[in-house]
Structure 1
């Protein structure tokens, strides 16, 4: 894959939004159609969902491995998500790509976005919103990968996350994955 580096360091773009809004689908579209954009791969202690590949979708770690990275200050951000699994963004790959002038997209949860804002306020923060609350509910239930208890936890989290849109620089509505992804890529290509 050929890179198209910019002159000097690139700007980090942070994508966050409520659970089941389609952050993964938008990121996958960008990964598959825009090789000039580097997608950060998060680490997590949760178990892989069907079809997820270690090192491609996530770095699946056990608790001891995650703790070791915490001790080494190896995360740009980290959080416990939905009261269960831990997630974190390995710091050095992001910094290396940005220094090379490669646009970097970081797809994370709201708490992670807040941590990145503390350490990298120059990043562009994009909130991926559903077209409506009802559509978000439909996507969450339709996914079928969570138990009823997990769905309830995610719904409660989503309500809080939806109320935080004003913390972001830009809101992109995910009414259709390709359109939302193209809007995000367009934003990334016009960054200073």
Structure 2
């Protein structure tokens, strides 16, 4: 569980090619710690049936989106298949200042933008690799969410995504879902204890220094 009273929150970035298990792992992390929240992306595309504004996405006009980008209000943004997607900075900044971790399910381009943003020092980036390309294709086919053409496009994109693995803090091969989940929990728990995430330490050290100076 998080200790929001005594630390600053993390921007936890999970990236992977489609089918590597990223979404499943993200759900497991939220079950492990309900204090983890997903960053709700803004998009210019129209809502799909069942999608709720503010829950699945923040649906805004293209003019509003471009205005927020111009004003520096997006941590990252991209143009994908004719629509704009991005992560609004304000809600993320508010969350981490309250000690709440925010989970991002984004690609390598978004990860780079966030890492290089004003909040970059509070990021933890993790890339999930599949055990093999054959297994990656099998997972895409067995989850039965996409038609053959979509699967082919996802497979074509997978190598470009995998080629950027070296830009992440941690890289995990998801050959066993339970093991990978355990590794993620360990990484997050340790990173929460980074000196930078514990702003109260400065005051504590000052108190120790005063006590030391008061020794007889």
Q: TM-score if structure 2 supplies the norm length?
A: 0.73
Taking only aligned residues, the RMSD between alpha carbons, in angstroms, comes to: 2.7
Number of positions where the alignment pairs a residue of Structure 1 with one of Structure 2:
190
Give the Cα separation in 1 of the matches to 2:129 and 2:83.
23
Q: TM-score if structure 1 supplies the norm length?
A: 0.81
Give the Cα separation in 2 of the matches to 1:57 and 1:174.
26
Q: Give the aligned partner of residue 131 of structure 2.
A: 131
Q: Give the aligned partner of residue 91 of structure 1.
A: 89
Q: SS at the partner of 1:127?
A: strand
Structure 1 residue 74 and structure 2 residue 80: aligned?
no
Give the Cα separation in 2 of the matches to 1:71 and 1:133.
39
Per mean C-alpha deviation after superposition, the further-off stretch among 65-74 and 85-94 is 65-74
Q: Give the aligned partner of residue 98 of structure 2.
A: 100
Q: SS at the partner of 2:72?
A: coil
Q: Give the aligned partner of residue 4 of structure 1.
A: 3
1:18 Cα offset (Å): 1.2
1:65 Cα offset (Å): 5.0
Q: Give the aligned partner of residue 28 of structure 1.
A: 27
Deviation string, structure 1 residues 62-94 (Cα, Å, up to 9, x no partner): 54553454344321101124x444321121111
More helix by share: 2
> Structure 1, unaligned stretches of length 5 or more?
none
Kept after mapping to 1: 8 A contact 2:11/2:124: yes
Q: Give the aligned partner of residue 140 of structure 1.
A: 140
Q: SS at the partner of 2:116?
A: helix
> Structure 2, unaligned stretches of length 5 or more?
195-216
Greater Rg over alpha carbons, structure: 2
1:19 Cα offset (Å): 2.1
